[in-house]
Amino acid sequence: MVTFISTTKTNYSVKLYKFTPEALLQTYMPVEQIDSETLLSGLLKEIPDRIEKIREKRDAFLTDAVLLGEIPSPTYAEDNRIRAVLDRFRENGLDNPTIDEFGNASAQLPGSDGQSSILVMAHADSVFSPEVRHEIQVGSDSITGPGIADNALGLAAMISLPRILKDLGIQLRDNLTLVANAKSLGRANLEGANGFLETMSLPARAGICVEGSTLGRLSYSGLGTLRGEITLQVPSDYDWKRFGAAGAISHLTSLVNQIREIAIPKEPKTKLVFGGLKCGSSYNTSPRQGSLRFEITSEGDEIIGQMENNLNDICEQFSAETGTQVNMEVVAKRQNCGIAFTHPLVKTTRSIMQEAGITPQVDPSTGDLNALILGGLPAVTLGLTTAENLREVNETVHLDPLYAGMAQLVTLIQAIDQGICEE
Amino acid sequence: MSMNQETWLERNTFHHGAFWDLIKLVEEKEKKGLKISLCIPTLNEEKTIGKEVLILRSELMERYPLVDEFAVIDSGSEDKTLEVASNYGADVYLASDILQEVGNKRGKGENLWKAIHQLKGDIICYVDADISNIHPRFVYGLVAPLIQRDEITYVKAFYDRPLNYSSGLRPSGGGRVTEILTRPLFSLFYPELSQIIQPLSGEYAARREVLEKIPFPIGYGVETSHLLDLYELYGLETFAQTDLDRRVHRNQTTNALGKMSFGILQTFFNRLHAQGKLDQMPDLETFYRRFEVEDGNYRQLVQEVVEEERPPMIEIEGYRNRETSS
């Protein structure tokens, strides 16, 4: 076993040494007496140096991104990738490497104080089925393969944190809780992250969700979301001679048109997306069944509720009028949540990004961040690098911007650890 | 075959899973004072070389210091092979720059041979550059038997063939040339060597003290010649083989395999000739030997294939009588 943090040093001298070595020599002023601004500016000053050091140590996360990315990990079948993550936690000498009842792998890097923890989470599932050849290619300045950006790279970055912190000479006061959460995407409805939050024992100070892409991403709110699937079935005793009789394709298109009549407000901002339509398999046979997938996102929870009612009414009426069976199933539902733009966690993140040369792009999340914030944690989602061909088999991440992306993550963890990100 | 040879298969066949504890392996290596060099011979491998160097170097040099030296020896690639390999931290050499006084020949065997001169290790592990599912096991699975067992000097890799996996049985794991050419030849002339499940695999590790004593064909025959020459010098006991599970690599055309077979046959007959097996041909074996792997056990299947022959019809009395009577 490799143990990275062998001893626990006294808090204040270690804390101080981390950001201003000169200050340690000149004064022995304890950390608490230094205001947040001074602490932060000390951290920001180190960012250019951190980027270079992380660039030198890139093998620590690139290797895992490739090895983990080559293990297929579709939502609900993440076991193999999760076990590989657990092995890494063990090899890195972390405390309590565990796979919980929800299928998440987690472990702790003990802090010098250990009274609370910082949660860093990366989802382990991917949108690619095991039939897709999970082969990753490594070039000089990019890595390509299915799911490398979403989220093999995020996962590898999270796993590498203990090694990176050690290489940078950083000893945290808080425990660092690392989580590879299963069952995040699509129908899974954040099951893994929610389960972890519900059963987490140690109080966490804040949380960070890590995504491979895109650099500059800053999410601090979760968008209210409803995902659903409408299935339409033409019954076996359907009267094909009745007025308006039609197959499932015609019915579903009429249904789509009716749904599009629903008034969508400008404020609060709301969006309806049709994401999938499955129906029929031939040229000349009217299909008897089909399904339609959609997502509603809105900044107003009440709007989502109203639209859900509207959709139910439309389905019911459509069913009665056409003699077909129409069912709507809600597969995922999340309420709006978030912390303020002015929350110290968000403010600090923006300062760090700026110093690292990253332009923040505020983007509400529909992912794991919702679980953290609804679980009562101030949290943000960060992206690590730029990417192309997202969710295609030739998904590609660029290596050059990645080191700034990692430096922002490490610096934010330090800032949280030093209490800069609290209200 | 003697008792000893009967059980070679059991005693000297490993699965990489037995060597998962790399910390222990590194300790044993250090205790014995061994240095290990890893060599990847290349020619235009930019698609796969980056991943091989990244993964093998970071796992087996940075994380677990099993490998002391990591070299890519190139035959003059025209793509970005050298740039990518050096970017991820390999020592990069052109075969033509090594031992310039002996001149330059172009072929994989040349790079393997010159590696003996260029690299410092007591053990040299060779890994082909075209493995798309590279994993540290491709190296530690091969060097571990050399670290743990002093009498072993040469370790070959073998793999499974996932195509036939659904039947529950894995066939012997050779490629087409192995099954059609090498295994029948070994069954005829070197039946003991037919226990080597994948004689042509490009991944093997060996001690310097044996590598420096044998000639190296520069082309396709290098793997075959190693087996025949070391067998002649030291016998089967110094060989071992390790199951590395699945290996994914590019498929070769039948034409390319024909060319490869031609090279192997040259190497093979040169040895037969040198060992007097051609001039004084022994009675040919009639047992065809192949392998089955089931639940981690390796079983040799021996099948008698006797090619009985009939004389020319003209020599048969009944036939001749038929001719005269008609």
Residues 78-97 of A with CB under 8 A from B: 91
Which tens digit of pLDDT belongs to each residue from B20-30? 999 999 999 99
All domains of chain A in start order, with CATH: 11-222+337-417 (3.40.630.10), 225-334 (3.30.70.360)
Distance from CA of B52 to the nearest CA of A (A): 9
Interface of B with A (CB under 8 A): 23, 46-48, 50-51, 54-55, 57-59, 62-63, 80, 83-84, 87-89, 132-133, 135, 248
pLDDT band at B297 (very low <50, low <70, confident <90, very high): confident
A32 and chain B in contact, CB less than 8 A: no
From B198's Cα to the closest Cα of chain A, the distance in A is 25
Q: Is A140 on the interface with B (CB under 8 A)?
A: yes
Q: Which residues of B touch A59 (CB under 8 A)?
A: 54, 57-58, 62, 88-89
What is the C-alpha to C-alpha distance for residues A49 and A168, in angstroms, rounded to an integer? 10
The alpha-carbon gap from B126 to the nearest alpha carbon of chain A, in Å, equals 21
Give the burial string for A93-127 (b: 16+ CB within 10 Å, else e): bbeebebbebbbbbbbbbbbeeebbbbbbbbbbbb
CA-wise closest residue to A232 among A180, A191, A293, A173 = A293
pLDDT (mean) for B110-114: 96
pLDDT of residue A8: 34
Closest-approach residue (CA) in chain A for B51: A138
CA distance B3 to chain A (A): 41
Residue contact B87–A140, C-beta within 8 A:
yes
The domains of chain B, with CATH numbers, are 3-166+176-284 (3.90.550.10)
Indicate the pTM of the whole model. Answer: 0.84
Higher model confidence: residue A81 or residue B246? Answer: A81
- Looking at every residue in chain B, the average pLDDT score rounds to 88
* Amino acid identity at A157: A
- Which tokens hold the place of B295? 């639940």
φ, ψ at A27 (rounded to 5°): -135, 165
pLDDT at A256: 96
Q: Which residues of B touch A62 (CB under 8 A)?
A: 54, 58
- Which has the closest alpha carbon to A21: A175, A169, A164, A176? A169
- Whether A138 and B50 lie within 8 Å, measured CB to CB: yes
Q: How far apart are CA A129 and CA A404, in angstroms?
A: 31
For residue B17, the distance in angstroms to the closest alpha carbon of chain A comes to 14
DSSP state of B282: P
Interface contact flag, A67 B135, Cβ < 8 Å: yes
Element (H, E) at A379: strand A379-385
| pLDDT > 70: percent of chain B | 89
**Amino acid A229: pLDDT:** 95
Place of tokens 């393969």: A145
With a CB cutoff of 8 Å and minimum separation 6, the contacts of A74 are A125, A126, A127, A128, A129, A130
Distance CA A17, CA A15 (A): 5
- Give the number of other Cβ atoms within 10 Å of residue A393's Cβ: 14
pLDDT average per 10 residues of sequence, chain A (423 residues)? 36 34 44 77 96 95 97 96 97 96 97 94 96 94 97 98 96 97 90 93 91 96 92 89 86 95 92 94 92 94 94 95 94 91 96 96 91 93 97 96 98 96 90
For residue A406, CA distances in Å to A48, A172, A287, B55, B310 come to 12, 17, 51, 20, 77
C-alpha distances (whole Å) from B226 to each of B179, B193, B218, B323 are: 19, 12, 12, 56
Q: Which residues of A touch B48 (CB under 8 A)?
A: 137
